[in-house]
Amino acid sequence: MREWEEALGFIARIVESRHDRGAPELEIIGARFNAHGPLIELGRLDEAERLLQECREIFEAHRSWVDLARTLSALAHLYHACGDAANAIVTGQDALRHAYLAAIPQDIAISHHGLGVYLCASDNGVSTALAHHLAAALIRDLVSDGRLRNSLRSVGIDFASLPSGCPLPDTTDALYAQMSEVRGARLDELVSYLGTPEKAQAALNRILTEAYELARCFQ
């Protein structure tokens, strides 16, 4: 607990320093944003939510899509931690849309992965969660993201809990079709930028093979 209190103190000093030198609003709120993690760790969830909502308003006003996407992801995570599945999903969808606007593949993968987690916590959300976890895994494979293993594990868990007979998006076209139903999620365009269709399908095949193996551990 002490380390999180110290982290808040450190962040407060940075914010004060930026105020003193007349830094722009966007730079100041960017520093304040970093306090949400320590606040959550300290159980000060209401304060964390108020901070993130303030960040959301300012980042949106400045059309800072990268910061807004990360703020919405943090809010969705907070709602999920509080057991508010509905708000976590809606906010996670908003985070994903803005992550695509920001066009940073690693952040897009984080948003897909997070939304998959929130959907798993809802009723009958496993098949949609699987698609988002596959999307995250595909992006991470293509950009050599070190968090690929986390995505593979999530896909494996989804496989283990998927209802019998549920169709799987085992081709990139099938996965793109499912993602096209999500507002703002242009997975096909992103993947075409990251690699050839053949490379993308080969990556998806590897992901499915490894995830099937992992699924045996969760059955």
pLDDT at 165 over 80: no
Global confidence as pTM: 0.92
**More confident of the two residues 159 and 139:** 139
- Structural domain includes residue 183: yes
pLDDT at 219 over 70: no
What pLDDT is recorded for position 124? Answer: 64
What pLDDT is recorded for position 135? Answer: 98
d(CA 14, CA 36): 15
Per-residue pLDDT, averaged over 79-99, amounts to 95
What pLDDT is recorded for position 1? Answer: 82
- Structural domain includes residue 71: no
pLDDT at 39 over 70: yes
pLDDT at 123 over 80: no
| Domain range enclosing 164 | 104-218
- Structural domain includes residue 46: no
pLDDT at 113 over 80: yes
120 touches 126 (CB < 8 A): yes
d(CA 82, CA 94): 18
- Structural domain includes residue 87: no
Provide the number of structural domains found in the chain. 1
Average pLDDT score, the chain: 94
- Structural domain includes residue 60: no
- Structural domain includes residue 205: yes
pLDDT at 175 over 70: yes
Q: Which residues of 83-116 are buried (b: 16+ CB within 10 A; e: fewer)?
A: ebbebbbebbbbbbbbbbbbeebebbbbbbbbbb
pLDDT band at 69 (very low <50, low <70, confident <90, very high): very high
pLDDT at 96 over 90: yes
- Structural domain includes residue 76: no
- Structural domain includes residue 140: yes
